[in-house]
Chain A
């Protein structure tokens, strides 16, 4: 076919990908409705929303650009400390802190992106891990600034939009986190179904071929990495603001490891994987921790092993079948 006809077909497919699937609409309605449906679990829901945003940010680089990272917590921590320090020393306005967190993490992402451009998967794993560890030690060493191992205290947030105070029940916190998650999700959705997003997927699937086709691999990957870092920074800022506390744990290895688990459960590469995985993971963790407060790590590990060995196909296959059935019920937009 002719070049312009081909281009038109691609644009059409991209446009079709932006239409909203009915299950998506249902998902977001339920997420907002959870505020009235589960009023005594808003704290847990808030944590889920923040984890979901964090997972979304990893999905951008892992699912769409194919960069494996064991140190994504570095950006979470950067955003959290930036937002926390801003609130403590400059202004307690939540949106300012959010912007600061995103900016700080984004800058860190930009500076470390050269490290992940080269090398094999293994190198990337190690380098990202190393960066997160260095950041951890830095935060520990500059204790006078960050509070060190004792954590950053004395953060009191001003009300959101000047109206909604952060209360003990987590009401403001949940709506705030959920709204931020939704907005950033919309942005991510737009970006991934744009030509830029397509080029990322091309790089993920076959970097040699992509660059041979004229895609500037380095710049695209760096841009994606920076964007993902900013998203993770937003999650970190939300964490600092809704809990009014930041500790070194925000940079700890288990944050990155748990995050990978979340994406594995939900599936990477279609944006909802992180969100669903976050819900499933947090609920699973909460349930297990209630039954065996001491050995829940064992069951999470067992779940992980079984899941990777074969469980994933069963669960994802089942879920995909049901989603397909719903699609046929609804307007049936192509995914």
Chain B
């Protein structure tokens, strides 16, 4: 027993010495703690954001505002307790000036008290529930919120002759956000909505889709986490719902660029609203997609990647504005109101809520050449997060 402790104590001591030595060299660099789900069911989110962050540093350089940005990547496997501990260690041991990443809502929420207590800005690059930015005055978001994407869908659906909608969402924060924001907007316009929520761990959509086909709605509004979208689409088509004339609508998560090719033909014809499509027609985006695919062969950037890319852009811009001062209060103040041209379109960080203001596009999934893409055909400009805007 004692022998084991001695060995472990020795290893501990060595690690301590190593980190102490490392800390001495860190005076000039600004450290960014990047906490992402690199393993587990949401690993695709982590992969995309990690690739985007690396791409930013390669393309735009690591020196901004006179300081060198160093990214420390940690894997939380999508587990909120791990995220919290990793964030805490990054702040306390590695002395990071910014925390970034957060692939899911609970991961971002768990870290919020740490950001507040340590006065460290927390950049949310992926999580999408509306209330996240209210959890701490140090949170800024570069991804999107589900209500931001879902409410425009309600407007578009109503003005295009859809009167009756059945919503199917996964039963967790973002899903509930999507359902409530869509349903309230659509009902306010005069439509009827029937809803069902599927459990997060669901192997088979059959029973839920059966209900949909029996209700015979004009459209099916769907939100499921990106890993499950393909399965959902397949069963949608297998049940003959598309042939029965039920349109597939919803936020763009279900036709995520990362897996769109894998979903295949069944995705064609889906109408979605989202803040980013890899097919977005702008020079900034074309350059982004090209560079991304060159650095990561076989991968197409999706909305997660653009959230990561823009998150780094926000940090860089803030550092330039504060002329290298990396203290938390100055950084977050510089972030408020920051605006730039992102691959997705023009974006701005709302100075009141620290959430992102961006264009929402209505897109149709169709073939462009030999590949499937979400082709934008309508734009709703400068959408603020509606939940907070109403308060």
Q: Is the CB of A43 within 8 A of B88?
A: yes
The 6 closest A-B pairs by CB, nearest first: A149-B172, A293-B75, A247-B80, A151-B106, A150-B173, A245-B110
Q: Determine the distance from Cα of A264 to Cα of B91 in the docked complex, in whole angstroms.
A: 34
Interface segment, one of A22-30, A65-73, A103-111, A213-221: A22-30
Interface segment, one of B113-121, B210-218, B257-265, B276-284: B113-121
Q: Is the CB of B39 within 8 A of A40?
A: no
Q: Is the CB of B8 within 8 A of A38?
A: no
- List, in ascending order, chain B residues with CB within 8 A of A164's CB: none
Query: Which of A153, A168, A244 has a CB less than 8 Å from the CB of B92?
Result: A168
Question: B120 to nearest A CB, angstroms?
Answer: 10
- List, in ascending order, chain A residues with CB within 8 A of B92's CB: 40, 43, 168-170
Q: A27-B1, A150-B173, A297-B39 are in contact. Are A168 and B8 (CB under 8 A)?
A: no
**A/B interface sample: 25 pairs, CB < 8 A:** A26-B2, A38-B12, A38-B16, A40-B93, A41-B12, A43-B88, A140-B171, A140-B200, A149-B172, A149-B173, A150-B173, A153-B112, A156-B113, A168-B114, A245-B80, A245-B113, A247-B81, A249-B80, A283-B8, A293-B73, A294-B39, A294-B43, A319-B1, A323-B1, A326-B1
Instruction: Known pairs A26-B2, A140-B200, A148-B173; list 11 more (Cβ under 8 Å).
Output: A40-B93, A41-B16, A148-B171, A150-B172, A239-B81, A247-B80, A247-B110, A280-B8, A293-B38, A296-B39, A319-B3
Q: Is the CB of B39 within 8 A of A295?
A: yes
A313 within 8 A of B: no
- List, in ascending order, chain A residues with CB within 8 A of B75's CB: 289, 293-294
Q: Is the CB of B200 within 8 A of A149?
A: yes
Query: Which of B4, B135, B173 has a CB less than 8 Å from the CB of A280?
Result: B4
Which residues 45-103 of B have a CB within 8 angstroms of A?
73-75, 79-81, 84-85, 88-89, 91-93
- List, in ascending order, chain B residues with CB within 8 A of A280's CB: 4, 8
B5 within 8 A of A: yes
Q: A43-B88, A140-B171, A149-B172 are in contact. Are A249 and B38 (CB under 8 A)?
A: no
Q: Is the CB of A276 within 8 A of B106?
A: no
Q: Is the CB of A243 within 8 A of B39?
A: no
Question: Which residue, of B73, B81, B85, has the highest number of chain A Cβ atoms within 10 A?
Answer: B81
Q: Determine the distance from Cα of A19 to Cα of B84 in the docked complex, in whole angstroms.
A: 41
A320 to chain B: closest residue by CB: B1
Question: B24 to nearest A CB, angstroms?
Answer: 15
Interface size on B, residues (CB 8 A): 44
Q: Is the CB of A168 within 8 A of B81?
A: no
- List, in ascending order, chain A residues with CB within 8 A of B285's CB: none
Q: A27-B1, A319-B1 are in contact. Are A150 and B39 (CB under 8 A)?
A: no
Q: Is the CB of A43 within 8 A of B85?
A: yes
- List, in ascending order, chain A residues with CB within 8 A of B3's CB: 319, 322
B297 within 8 A of A: no
What is the 8 Å Cβ interface bit string for chain A, positions 318-335, against chain B (1 contact, 0 not)?
Answer: 010011001000000000
Q: What does DSSP make chain A's interface, helix, strand, loop or mixed?
A: helix
Q: Is the CB of B2 within 8 A of A23?
A: yes
- List, in ascending order, chain A residues with CB within 8 A of B110's CB: 151, 153, 243, 245, 247
A279 within 8 A of B: yes
B105 within 8 A of A: yes
Q: Is the CB of B118 within 8 A of A168?
A: yes
- List, in ascending order, chain B residues with CB within 8 A of A326's CB: 1-2
Q: Is the CB of B1 within 8 A of A243?
A: no
Which residues 237-264 of A have a CB within 8 angstroms of B?
239, 243-245, 247, 249-250
- List, in ascending order, chain B residues with CB within 8 A of A322's CB: 1-3
Q: A150-B106, A289-B75, A319-B4 are in contact. Are A244 and B113 (CB under 8 A)?
A: yes
Q: Determine the distance from Cα of A184 to Cα of B110 in the docked complex, in whole angstroms.
A: 28
Interface size on A, residues (CB 8 A): 46
- List, in ascending order, chain A residues with CB within 8 A of B2's CB: 23, 26, 322-323, 326
- List, in ascending order, chain B residues with CB within 8 A of A247's CB: 79-81, 106, 110
Question: B173 to nearest A CB, angstroms?
Answer: 4
Which residues 150-170 of A have a CB within 8 angstroms of B?
150-151, 153, 156, 168-170
Question: B336 to nearest A CB, angstroms?
Answer: 24
B319 within 8 A of A: no
- List, in ascending order, chain B residues with CB within 8 A of A153's CB: 109-110, 112, 135
B374 within 8 A of A: no
Q: Is the CB of B93 within 8 A of A47?
A: no
Question: B214 to nearest A CB, angstroms?
Answer: 24
Question: Which residue, of B43, B109, B112, has the highest number of chain A Cβ atoms within 10 A?
Answer: B109
Question: B107 to nearest A CB, angstroms?
Answer: 9
B118 to chain A: closest residue by CB: A168
- List, in ascending order, chain A residues with CB within 8 A of B200's CB: 140, 149
Q: Determine the distance from Cα of A147 to Cα of B214 in the docked complex, in whole angstroms.
A: 32
B199 within 8 A of A: yes
A121 within 8 A of B: no
Q: Determine the distance from Cα of A283 to Cα of B12 in the docked complex, in whole angstroms.
A: 9
Which residues 1-34 of B have a CB within 8 angstroms of A?
1-5, 8-9, 11-12, 16, 19
A137 within 8 A of B: yes
- List, in ascending order, chain B residues with CB within 8 A of A40's CB: 16, 19, 92-93
Q: Determine the distance from Cα of A37 to Cα of B15 in the docked complex, in whole angstroms.
A: 13
B78 to chain A: closest residue by CB: A249
Q: Determine the distance from Cα of A72 to Cα of B1 in the docked complex, in whole angstroms.
A: 27
- List, in ascending order, chain A residues with CB within 8 A of B129's CB: 150
What is the 8 Å Cβ interface bit string for chain B, positions 313-328, against chain A (1 contact, 0 not)?
Answer: 0000000000000000
What is the 8 Å Cβ interface bit string for chain A, positions 22-55, against chain B (1 contact, 0 not)?
Answer: 0100110010000001101101100100000000
A245 to chain B: closest residue by CB: B110
